[in-house]
Chains A and B, each alone.
Chain A
Amino acid sequence: MKAFTNVNPRTLEDAVSALTRSRASGARAVVSGGGSDLLGLIKERLVQPDIVVNLKTVAGLSNVRADARATTIGGLITLDALSREAHIRRDYQGLAEAAASVGTPQIRNVGTLAGNVCQRPWCWYLRNGYACYKNGGDRCFASSGENQYHAIFSQGPSYIVHPSDTAPALVALDARFRVVGPRGERLVNASEFFVLPRVDPARENVLQDDEILAEIVLPPAVSSRRSTYAKILDREAWTHALVSAAVVLDMDGDVCRRARIVLGGVAPVPWDRPRAAGLLEGQRVTPELAAAVAEAAVSDARPLAKNGYKVPLTRGLVGRTVLALARQ
């Protein structure tokens, strides 16, 4: 790896000003949460920072606070801590399940929620240093190459899949992201945080180079709402989802009032399926309805040469996840 300077800010303001100062001096600075993804990127020289701003020294960013208006989660909470948080497990089960499903215990012990949301894609062309869009190049090698793990929903020009487990759950739960930067802070809806390649093929979200994802704000818990996160891997642990589904159901007895289905592993951003979810509204969730929802979730899929299997996989996962959650 290339040598870099580590900076330990005490506050978010210090962290942002470290980023701003670095940029002003022409240095390349990056932020590190748990560092589990960043370290690999640096070792592979895919990122070659001069300065690493270590957020672990910023106080107060790893807690969960809840009041009548919102539940606020510090971006630095580890995935393991998040998955064990009683309040999250009770009221936002899908998020707890998503956090618990990431990688391995070692990764969950150091990896953070904000880091999981902001990690780079695991496309093998990107990770092997090909000059693709994501590495600052001008093409996607996967679109006509080895694309078995790639997107079935993308209009290009990049066909990566978003790798985060927590991101689909956060979108499904209507989370908002508190982003802090040199011009102050802003609240971004989770569904607007992630950007499609046709908007900006080099990045996966709206964060600017001097901005930090500080906190995640969830709407208050509703007793009629339940959520889950299910994913399918090609081994039992330590890979990213081939397909995942975050499902939220607002139930009135056995009738679904409102539903949200957001997929992971199939598109360059968490992939919201409002039309499929809409079929559930005002209905009893039967196996037949779940199958129709599953079909609607993939009806517009456009698989690449080697990832056609993801269509039945997604269909199967959505159908059984919706049904299981409705019967929970």
Chain B
Amino acid sequence: MSVLGQPTPRIDAASRVTGSARYTGDVRLPGMLFARVLRSPHPHARITAIRPERALALDGVKAVITHQNCRIVWSSGDSRNTRYLFNNPVRFVGDAVAAVAAIDPHVAEEALQLIEVSYQTLPFLLDSEKALQPGAIAIHPGGNLSPNEAGVRQPEVYRRGSIDDGLRESELVYEGRFTSAHVNNAQMEPRVSVASWDGDELTVYASTQGISNCQRDLAKDLNLPLERVRVVCEYMGGGFGNKNQCHDFDLMAAVLAQQAGVPVRLELTRKEDYVAVHGRWATHQYYKIGVSRDGTLQAIQLRGYSDMGAYRKSSGSIAGIELYRCPHVETTVHPVHTNTAVAANYRAPAYPQGVFGLDSMMDQIAHELKIDPLEFRLKNATRAYHDELPYTSYGLEDCIRRGADVFEWRKRWRRAASDTGVVKRGVGMAMGSFAARVGRSSAVIRLDASGRYAVHVGVTDAGGGAKTTMAIIAAEALGVPLDRVTIVSGDTDRCPYSIGESGSRTTNFTGYAVVEAARDLKQQIETRGLPTGSVVLIGSATPEPVIKGAARYSFAAHFVEVEVDVEVGGLRVVKYVAAHDSGRIVNPLTARSQVKGGVTMGLGMALHEQLLYDPRTGRPLNAGYYGARVMTHLDAPDVEVLFVETQDAHGPYGAKPIGEPPIIPSVAAVANAFFNATGRRIRDLPISRERILEVLA
């Protein structure tokens, strides 16, 4: 029986739940010191003096680094500006000012209190549109509009057709403004790094989504040859995009360890995680959409502002336009700096907020035209990428139709505000798509006389079950039972290059390399026979697949029914159906978990999460799990998951991404269900009880 497609528990589940799994936070090395970071209490200030002498004099303090004695550039901390480990001026509350290594965490914390810093405070900006107004203080030299890839300070623009003609010729034009809030990745495992030097060779135990890119960045920033840097991450506890590459605390741990001559462990608190790493960018979105009276889209124009916070770590795009077929499109997005926490990659970085705005608009237009929103989607949904490139496989329409059937959309959907009760029911839907890229990764499979297949892959298993996925793919490709496969992962000394668990690429990139390495090994077995005695056979592959003349995407359609209590403003999800085309499903058990997790995260973003700032002091007020209102178990709805398994010629056995897509439609689907229940549209996230009561007042 085939292993692929069978619901398979994680191969490392027992070690994770029994506590025997060694996470980065569990690493203890002989003589190890503990480090803490001093952070700016000001949103924008010049450091005029910094005196670490009293901290250094404290018994047990072994090293202190500040911008004065550590001028290392953290290259992956900003793709446009020069971002040092310690910056002057500081540009947000939480910007690192100093780091201390001491014999225990308490001494390190005491030492932070003893570092004397003089600040000259500067005016600060918390709003992306205000940051672009004339006369606004420049957070980086040259202004607050972050440059595009060519280094020019212009917004990112995409065009097809002629937006002016399209809007002019449309029978009807609708406009709308939507905003989304900064939300944190809120992954379970805190941030921690343990750095250890052996002569001029550095080992960093990191909590990273990508050991290879972390290794590359560390080597680059510390000016070391790649082979002198080893990155280890045996188990990790989630990241959702904010643990990729190397982080400033990895570099700080390495520098402190070098200065102190012993290993250093640096762990952040949950509050530091919220303010000093990164979350999802907040947006302001202005839409103008032209349609003909029969509901055919003619023109879509988006002007958007993405709040990237103090540094530019990611694109700042506002995505979703590619979900619709439309002759005239123009999007103009401004990635803007403010004196707030950095915003960068978080599960489908540009999508849930973009689709919230766009699919709320589409829902509104369908309502105005008195068209069932399902029919509106079926009429206008993309059939070719940007109306141009064919898809390698296309399951969006099936996701809509089959999802609607399972949800019983035609029975449940009524015109908005049809329910006259105090508790009003309503339904909503939204769509999603996500690039299913292919590309270079490596795999090595070792077979000895014992008959065990050791698969060496540079994955870290950020939570999606990558080790299990790799084992299933290997067992399938080798034609052996799953228990004959061992996964060797999470160590750059023992594993070849892997893309890293970002962009939902691990299964597609590294999984495909496993298929190719298995093919290589099977050929060797065919020629040389199964190994005996001390013979070891090694299959390996570094495929670099490319797709020409077509676009490869995963698709989704989500359907949700809510109850809105108009007296007390509550919104409760009572039914949720998520239909996904992620090609062939390798492991239905973990794939379903991905969908449920993504929906749950999306609901948190839709209903109550946000990082809030005090306008007068520029300080975040509600950092952390308690304050920022992440989802709890009791908040998680029951999600019915439906897979539309299209046939795709690329990737391992035609598997397409499933990690990021599930969060994409969820926010818009709930927002649309709220509208359907009440007839009122909330255009600013989150759709909190407070906002619900305000619009219903």
Contact = CB atoms under 8 A, between A and B. Distances in A.
A313 B569 contact: yes
Contacts of A317: 568
Nearest to B93: A128
A234 B691 CA distance: 11
B616 interface: yes
A232 B693 contact: no
A141 to B, nearest CB: 7
Nearest to B629: A235
Given A124-B621, A236-B634, A309 B612 contact: no
B631 interface: yes
Given A128-B621, A235-B629, A236-B632, A145 B616 contact: yes
B568 A313 contact: yes
B626 A238 contact: yes
Contacts of A135: none
Contact of B622 (A1, A124, A238, A313): A124
A320 interface: yes
A3 B569 CA distance: 45
Interface in A175-214: none
A292 to B, nearest CB: 15
A239 B629 contact: yes
Contacts of A141: 614, 616
Interface in A279-309: 306-309
Given A3-B106, A146-B614, A320-B567, A313 B619 contact: no
B694 A309 contact: yes
A316 B634 contact: no
A234 B614 contact: no
Interface in A75-134: 104, 124-125, 127-128, 130
Interface string B560-571: 000001011110
A130 B690 CA distance: 25
Contacts of B629: 234-235, 239
B109 interface: yes
A234 B689 contact: yes
Q: How large is the interface on B (under 10, 10 to 19, 20 to 34, 35 or more residues)?
A: 20 to 34
A309 B632 contact: no
Contacts of A319: 567
A234 B693 contact: no
Given A234-B608, A238-B632, A316 B568 contact: yes
A317 B109 CA distance: 45
Contacts of A315: 567
User: Could you tell me the dominant secondary structure of chain A's interface residues?
Assistant: loop
Contacts of B622: 124
A234 B621 contact: no
Interface in B534-567: 565, 567
A216 interface: no
A244 to B, nearest CB: 12
B573 to A, nearest CB: 11
The CB with the most chain B CB atoms within 10 A, among A127, A130, A232, A313, is that of: A313
Contact of A232 (B615, B627, B689): B689
B647 interface: no
Interface string A242-257: 1000000000000000
B380 interface: no
Given A1-B106, A235-B635, A148 B690 contact: yes
B568 A232 contact: yes
Contacts of A324: none
Interface residues of A, number: 32
A312 B697 contact: yes
Contacts of A124: 612, 621-622, 627
B229 to A, nearest CB: 34
A70 interface: no
A234 B626 CA distance: 11
B81 interface: no
A141 B618 CA distance: 13
Contacts of B524: none
A237 interface: yes
B634 A242 contact: no
A261 to B, nearest CB: 16
Given A148-B690, A313-B568, A313-B689, A237 B621 contact: no
B627 to A, nearest CB: 6
Contacts of B621: 124-125, 128, 146
Interface in A144-190: 145-146, 148
Contacts of A306: 690
A148 B691 CA distance: 11
B614 A1 contact: no
Contacts of A145: 614-616
B187 interface: no
A1 B109 contact: yes
Contact of A237 (B110, B569, B614, B632): B632
A130 B621 CA distance: 10
A6 B651 CA distance: 60
A52 to B, nearest CB: 15
A145 B621 CA distance: 11
Nearest to A130: B617
Nearest to A124: B621
B693 A313 contact: yes
B383 to A, nearest CB: 39
Contacts of B626: 238-239
B688 interface: yes
A173 to B, nearest CB: 24
Given A145-B615, A309-B693, A232 B570 contact: yes
Nearest to A243: B568
A313 B569 CA distance: 7
Given A124-B627, A141-B614, A235 B568 contact: no
A317 B635 CA distance: 20
Interface in B289-333: none
B693 A312 contact: yes
B689 A242 contact: yes
A124 B627 CA distance: 8
Contacts of A234: 608, 629, 688-690
Nearest to A316: B567
B624 to A, nearest CB: 10
A309 B569 contact: yes
Nearest to A44: B271
A237 B634 contact: yes
B635 A236 contact: yes
A287 B420 CA distance: 18
The CB with the most chain B CB atoms within 10 A, among A3, A125, A312, A317, is that of: A312
23 contacts: A124-B621, A124-B627, A128-B621, A141-B614, A145-B616, A146-B621, A148-B690, A232-B568, A235-B607, A235-B608, A235-B632, A236-B635, A237-B635, A238-B632, A242-B689, A309-B690, A309-B694, A309-B697, A312-B569, A312-B697, A313-B569, A315-B567, A316-B565
Interface of A: 1-3, 104, 124-125, 127-128, 130, 141, 145-146, 148, 232, 234-239, 242, 306-309, 312-313, 315-317, 319-320
Sort A-B residue pairs by CB-CB distance and give the 10 closest, nearest first.
A236-B634, A316-B567, A309-B693, A124-B621, A316-B568, A237-B632, A309-B690, A236-B635, A237-B634, A234-B608
Given A148-B690, A239-B626, A313-B568, 19 more contacts: A1-B109, A3-B106, A124-B612, A124-B621, A128-B621, A130-B617, A145-B615, A235-B608, A235-B635, A236-B632, A237-B633, A238-B626, A307-B690, A308-B697, A309-B689, A312-B569, A313-B693, A316-B568, A317-B568
